[in-house]
Amino acid sequence: MHDYEESALAAIDAVFQRQILYTSAVATDTPVLAVFSDMAADAFQGLGATARQVTYEIPQSALQQRPLKGDILIDGDATWRVIEVMPRDDIGRWILSVERP
């Protein structure tokens, strides 16, 4: 990763990172810092075409192992279940798509 990429990530983290609790098969309620994102999902036709895509971006160094589908995130009063794991090795992050359990 280039220095400008690291400084950009640090600037984003400084503004948007927040602490959540991460629960997996090997760790229960592990505090980690994550960047939350809630945006419109890809467009589709039909009823209910107002879907949202909720993700958390977590540094790979914050977790002992690769996240798995079904792992649980607790963010304040909200509980989320991981439904997709996208490794972003280029920036050292996991992008986790989540849904309400």
As given in the structure block, the two tokens for residue 90 are 């280029």
Question: Which pLDDT score, from 0 to 100, does residue 90 have?
Answer: 92
- Going from N- to C-terminal start, the domains of the chain cover 3-99
Does this model's pTM top 0.75? My answer is yes
Question: Which pLDDT score, from 0 to 100, does residue 55 have?
Answer: 97
CA-to-CA dists, residue 66 to 49, 61, 93, 100, angstroms? 32, 10, 11, 21
Give the chain's length: 101
Question: Which pLDDT score, from 0 to 100, does residue 23 have?
Answer: 95
Residues in CB range of 9: below 8 A, 6 or more apart: 91
Residue pLDDT tens, the chain, 101 long:
777 678 887 887 888 899 999 999 888 899 999 999 998 877 666 666 667 899 999 999 999 899 999 999 999 999 999 999 999 999 999 999 999 99
What kind of fold does domain 3-99 have according to CATH?
Thrombin, subunit H (2.40.10)
